């Protein structure tokens, strides 16, 4: 943990990064409050009333004045706004251009559509955004949605005491969080709509007023319209497999409600670094072989699918296990045969199938890396 600031170091003119939230002391005259500068705790609260401050979004500020420096329990650090801060998300690699656009969209409260192949980090990114911005994360899998009302409630039929069937509506987490957000304007919610392209078109249409300026949905239990307050932000994800790269079945009008952000797999050195952090003790050179093969498969033309980071992660789990960590020459092909070829249709030893084509890429890449498969 970084140490706490001393007052001496916070002389007027010092600039640092801060994340502000609404000041809970309402009559203080300052709308915004922060408790940290450059991620280090400050000895007094940091206050500002600048209207350019967006709650939860990092910005750079300059110390204007520290009041009551002699008192530990009193006084404030008054700062002025200098500019936008940098946006970093712990543990997730994000392309710098995507990162900039993401920051703008979040600052402006625009809906975001993460578009990328399976296992490129969409879910992990959404979850980490919520964590690093202090938002409550609401995960919703659209793949299970059949009817419009499924976004907000599920129906359960049970037997009543007399034995006749009764229908109960159970609120989904999405509905619960919209209700909660109305009651708690100081909390922020990030609703993640995973696999938005997998749900029925008609169901998706019913969600659209939630995502445009109308910002309301029909409450299926209370039969009334429910406003979606500004402290609810939506991020959706679509899996665009390479087999369907032309379209993902979301029509233009629906797409228009989002800022689309294209994601792709991490660059190989970043994927190696990620796997090295997760699999301490596994040789860096082994990780490099795994990533090089995955990269070659992802680039190979004419395959009906692609390879997620889950696959490289799984290969590393096997390779560091004592049952496998003896002989790289035999273990590596063995593991990649199941962890990589096994994710494609067909069989590794049948060249007419995708799995066989993947096996050809595996053997070629390993041979290039001086690890020929016998």
Ligand X SMILES: Nc1ncnc2c1ncn2[C@@H]1O[C@H](COP(=O)(O)OP(=O)(O)O)[C@@H](O)[C@H]1O
- Extract long-range pairs of 244-252: CB within 8 Å, 24+ residues apart: 248/115, 248/197, 249/197, 249/201, 250/196, 250/197, 250/204, 251/201
Q: Give the binding-site size for Mg ion (rule: CB under 5 A).
A: 1
List the Cα angle 294/295/298 in 5-degree steps: 85
Choose between 15 and 123: whose C-beta lies nearer to Mg ion.
123
309 binds ligand X (CB under 6 A): yes
Q: CB nearest ligand X: which residue? A: 121
* Site string (166-195) toward ligand X, x via CB under 6 A: ------------------------------
- Least distance in Å: CB of 119 to Mg ion? 8
122 binds ligand X (CB under 6 A): yes
274 binds ligand X (CB under 6 A): yes
- Least distance in Å: CB of 211 to Mg ion? 19
Task: List the single partner that 220 binds among Mg ion, ligand X, none, CB under 5 to 8 Å by kind.
Answer: none
Choose between 119 and 333: whose C-beta lies nearer to Mg ion.
119
The residues, ordered by sequence, that sit 6+ positions from 254 with a Cβ below 8 Å of its Cβ are: 204, 205, 208
123 binds Mg ion (CB under 5 A): yes
- Least distance in Å: CB of 237 to Mg ion? 6
Give the whole-angstrom CA distance, residue 185 versus residue 191: 15
119 binds ligand X (CB under 6 A): yes
Hey, which residues does 169 pair with through a beta bridge?
Answer: 155
Choose between 217 and 237: whose C-beta lies nearer to Mg ion.
237
Give the whole-angstrom CA distance, residue 50 versus residue 80: 7
Give the whole-angstrom CA distance, residue 138 versus residue 176: 10
Tokens for 73, please give them.
């329990």
The interface with ligand X within residues 192-221 (CB under 6 A) comprises none
Choose between 143 and 230: whose C-beta lies nearer to Mg ion.
143
Hey, which residues does 261 pair with through a beta bridge?
Answer: 114
Among the listed residues 105, 266, 287, 366, the single contact to ligand X using CB under 6 A = 266
Give the whole-angstrom CA distance, residue 319 versus residue 326: 9
Give the whole-angstrom CA distance, residue 305 versus residue 345: 9
Give the whole-angstrom CA distance, residue 285 versus residue 325: 13
- Least distance in Å: CB of 122 to ligand X? 3
124 binds ligand X (CB under 6 A): yes
Q: Which residues bind Mg ion (CB under 5 A)?
A: 123
Q: Which residues bind ligand X (CB under 6 A)?
A: 92-93, 116, 118-124, 266, 274, 308-310, 313
């Amino acid at each position: 943990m970084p140490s706490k600031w001393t007052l001496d170091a916070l002389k007027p003119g010092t600039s640092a990064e801060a994340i502000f939230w609404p000041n809970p002391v309402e009559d203080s005259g300052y709308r915004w409050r922060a408790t940290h500068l450059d991620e280090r705790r400050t000895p007094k609260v940091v206050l500002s009333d600048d209207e350019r401050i967006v709650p939860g979004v990092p910005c750079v500020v300059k110390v204007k004045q520290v009041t009551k420096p002699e008192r530990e329990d009193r006084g404030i650090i008054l700062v002025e706004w200098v500019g936008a801060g940098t946006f970093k998300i712990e543990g997730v690699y994000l392309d710098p251009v995507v990162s900039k656009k993401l920051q703008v969209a979040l600052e402006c409260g625009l809906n975001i559509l993460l578009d990328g192949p399976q296992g490129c980090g969409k879910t992990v990114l959404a979850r980490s955004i919520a964590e690093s911005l202090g938002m409550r994360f609401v995960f919703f899998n659209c793949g299970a949605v059949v009817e419009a009302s499924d976004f907000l409630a599920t129906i359960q039929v049970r037997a009543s005491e007399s034995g006749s069937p009764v229908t109960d509506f159970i609120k989904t987490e999405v509905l619960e969080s919209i209700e909660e957000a109305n009651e708690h304007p100081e909390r922020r919610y990030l609703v993640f709509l995973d696999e938005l392209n997998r749900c029925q078109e008609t169901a998706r249409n019913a969600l659209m007023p939630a995502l445009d300026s109308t910002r309301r949905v029909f409450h299926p239990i209370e039969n009334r319209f429910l406003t979606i307050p500004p402290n609810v932000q939506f991020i959706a994800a679509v899996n665009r497999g390479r087999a369907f790269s032309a379209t993902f079945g979301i029509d233009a009008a629906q797409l228009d409600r989002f800022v689309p952000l294209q994601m792709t797999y991490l660059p190989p050195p970043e994927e190696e670094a990620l796997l090295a952090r997760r699999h301490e003790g596994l040789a860096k050179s082994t990780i490099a072989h795994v990533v090089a093969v995955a990269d070659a498969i992802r680039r190979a033309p004419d395959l009906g699918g692609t390879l997620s980071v889950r696959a490289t992660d799984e290969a590393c789990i096997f390779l560091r296990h004592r049952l496998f960590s003896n002989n790289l020459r035999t273990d590596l092909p063995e593991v990649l045969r199941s962890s990589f070829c096994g994710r494609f249709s067909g069989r590794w030893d049948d060249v007419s199938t995708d799995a066989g084509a993947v096996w050809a890429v595996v053997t070629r890449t390993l041979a290039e890396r001086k690890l020929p498969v016998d």
